[in-house]
Amino acid sequence: MQLAPPSAPASSRLPKSATVDLLGADFPWRLVLENTIVGISYMQNRRFLWVNTRMAEIFGYSPDELDGELVRKLYVTQEDYDDVGRLMAGYPHDGFYTHERAMACKNGSLIWCRISGRLLRRKDISGPSVWVVQDLTDKKTAEDELRRLNQQLEHTIEKRTSNLRRTNETLHAEIERRRTLQATSAATGEKFRTLFRHLPLGVLVIDAEGAILEVNRTLQSYLGAQSRTRLEELLDDGSRVALPDGQTASLSSLLRRHAAERLGVERFEFAWIRAPGRLRHITAIGAPLATTRRGVVFTFADVTESRRQREREHEQQAALAHASRLSLMGQMASALAHELGQPLNACQSYLSGIRHRLNAEQLDLQELDQVLEKASTHLDQAAEIIRNVRGFVSRRKPLFESVSLVELIDRTLLLLRQPIRAVGVQIDVVSDPANDPFPDARCNAIEIQQVFTNLLINAVEAMDDAGTTDPRITIRLGADSRGMLTLDVSDNGPGVPEALIPRLCDPYVTTKPAGLGMGLMISRTIVESHGGSLRHISQRGAGATFRFALPAWRNP
Ligand code: ADP
């Protein structure tokens, strides 16, 4: 250290306090200044005149190394250096200046310092000044760390807050969703409950033991039960369900059987006896309960009205078919009279022959027996024709039975023998050898005979009207790919007029002056009511062919 100790300036600046006085002029100022924990320097014109050991140490210099150097050495940039120079020139606070900033060490590293300086002569910028430097690096590092931690904390808090906010929002949304769901579910539940109560179908839910779980009003009204207790009584009443064999049973036994047998979805029908003579026809479907609880759901539909309607339709159809048969008979009356006339005339001539012989007393008993035998045969023939006609025009309930179509053809040809003969039609009956013996059909014999008669008369009339030479009708028995029995009636007449084909089975379609145009329409209705079909399948220019198909009889 080459400079004089700062005793002179220090003493001139030190307050004239008692302490100073006490310390005395020989106090070891230099020693104290050298050993403080802050850096102290004495400067002029921004150049170090004296630097204490601590100051040199702070900046990584050896003692005395900074003496005489410009303070610029310790500034990181020229800009920093100029900045501080400018600030010092202003000296706003009584020639006192302090600042904190990063300063450069000898080895180029930076340290954070608080620097406080004071001009020893006020406003004399180029006069001496004293500077104290505190190494704030640790503090700064700690502060930075603290700030960083604070920031981290803030960031974490922010993140957590935002997470919390998001969770909160999600929670709110979930609560809202659940509330809506609950409301919807309650509404849906209510909707279903209302639907269940007012469904125009009866519904009954029973468990596996047959105990009622649910029942709706419609079923109560079907069964005529005002209350649940009454319903239970009625269900157990053994005289309420009319069985097809004429017996009665309780509805609960019917339902319990279904539940016990655990049938899948099963449909059944029964007649409910509401009061003596008052039946309700009910169709029911039972299905296993699709829940963890075992049981069955039964749905009931009152089909009394539709059944009555169906019966009325059947009756109407039968009446129409009957009327049409009567009309057919009317058309055939003269042919039948002729047909009956023949055996009756024969009988008459046999009888008059017998009388003649009796009068002449020429009759032996053996001859009489032979003649009576012949007369009886003719009468049988007449009786057969009458039976056939009677059967044809009778109005029996249309029952489905097992019918031999071969016999039905014979009977019909017998009935139509006269017109067939009159027009000179040759009839061939062909049956597929693969179907020998030909299976019986499931049908109502009279109605199917009516259809067949219609087709034969149409064929005979068409050929007669067209003057077909060598008129022929082929009746072919067979079976189609669906296993239905088929009966084709083909003729070699003029065929159905082209324009008529699309509406052939419509009512009132006729080309005959006295025709009604109902025959094919009624025939089709009859065949379809048997589950069969009637179609015109002619090839162009090859006469007319009509095919009707009927289900075969299957043993029940
Ligand atoms: P209708 O015999 O009273 O006319 P249908 O319904 O039985 O009533 O027959 C309708 C029409 O179909 C007949 O008028 C005729 O023109 C035509 N038709 C029916 N069968 C034949 C056939 N085998 N050949 C030619 N035309 C036919």
What is the DSSP secondary-structure string of 448-492?
HHHHHHHHHHHHHHHHHHHT-SS-EEEEEEEE-TTS-EEEEEEE-
The span from the CA of 103 to the CA of 502, in Å, is 113
Q: Is the CB of residue 450 below 6 angstroms from any atom belonging to ligand 1?
A: no
Concatenating the DSSP letter of every residue in 351-400 gives HHHHHHHHHTT---HHHHHHHHHHHHHHHHHHHHHHHHHHHHH-------
Average pLDDT, the chain: 82
Is residue 510 in contact with ligand 1, taking CB distance under 6 Å? yes
Q: To 10 degrees, the CA torsion angle through 53, 55, 58, 61?
A: -60
pLDDT at residue 92 in the model: 55
The reply to whether ligand 1 has any atom less than 6 angstroms from the CB of 136 is: no
Question: Which pLDDT score is estimated for 24?
Answer: 57
Q: What is the pLDDT of residue 403?
A: 93
Helical spans, DSSP H, in 199-291 = 217-223, 228-236, 251-261
Confirm or reject: Cβ of 534 under 6 Å from ligand 1. no
Of 478, 306, 309, 501, whose CA–CA distance to 406 is shortest?
Answer: 478
Ranges in the chain, pLDDT < 50:
1-22
Determine whether the shortest distance from the Cβ of 519 to ligand 1 is under 6 A. yes
- Which residue in 433, 430, 436, 550 sits closest to 484, CA to CA? 550
Beta bridge partners of 401: 443
Quote the pLDDT of residue 4.
38
Question: Cα–Cα distance between 6 and 532 in angstroms, integer?
Answer: 137
How far is Cα 265 from Cα 207, in angstroms, rounded to an integer? 16
- What are 109's two structure tokens? 């590293």
Q: What angle do CA 469, 473, 474 make, to 5 degrees?
A: 135
Q: Which residue's CA is the nearest one to ligand 1's atom 20?
A: 458
Question: DSSP code of 517?
Answer: S
Cis omega (within 30 of 0) on the bond before 556? no
Cβ proximity of 3 and 67 under 8 Å: yes
Residue positions counted in the chain: 556
Nearest to 133 by CA among 42, 72, 30: 42
371 contacts 352 by C-beta, under 8 angstroms = no
CA distance 27 to 21: 10
CA–CA gap between residue 424 and residue 471 (Å, rounded): 7
Alpha helices of 288-303 — where are they, by DSSP H? none
Residue nearest to atom 8 of ligand 1 (CA): 517
Q: Is 488 in the pocket of ligand 1 (CB under 6 A)?
A: no
What is the spatial distance between Cα 392 and Cα 412, in angstroms, rounded to a whole number?
10
Stretch (H or E) spanning 267: strand 266-275
Distance CA 360, CA 66 (A): 190
525 lines ligand 1 (CB under 6 A): no
CA 24 to chain centre: 110
Calculate the dihedral angle through the C-alpha atoms of 494, 500, 506, 509, rounding to the nearest 10 degrees: -70
What pLDDT is recorded for position 331?
Answer: 73
The closest residue, in CA terms, to atom 23 on ligand 1 is 459
Q: What is the pLDDT of residue 91?
A: 60
**What was the pLDDT predicted at 328?**
79
Report the pLDDT value the prediction gives residue 53, as an integer from 0 to 100.
Answer: 86
Assess contact for 412 and 392: CB atoms under 8 A.
Answer: no
Q: Is 496 in the pocket of ligand 1 (CB under 6 A)?
A: yes
Choosing from 496, 518, 540 the residue with most ligand 1 atoms within 8 A of its CB, the one to mutate for a pocket test is 496
For 420, counting Cβ atoms within 10 Å of its Cβ (0-12 exposed, 13-18 middle, 19+ buried), the class is buried
CA of 336 from ligand 1 middle (Å) equals 22
Question: Which residue, judged by its Cα, is nearest atom 13 of ligand 1?
Answer: 510
493 Cβ below 6 A of ligand 1: yes
CA 294 to chain centre: 25
Q: Report how far residue 96's alpha carbon sits from residue 130's, in angstroms, rounded to the nearest whole number.
A: 10
Give the whole-angstrom CA distance, residue 294 versus residue 209. Answer: 9
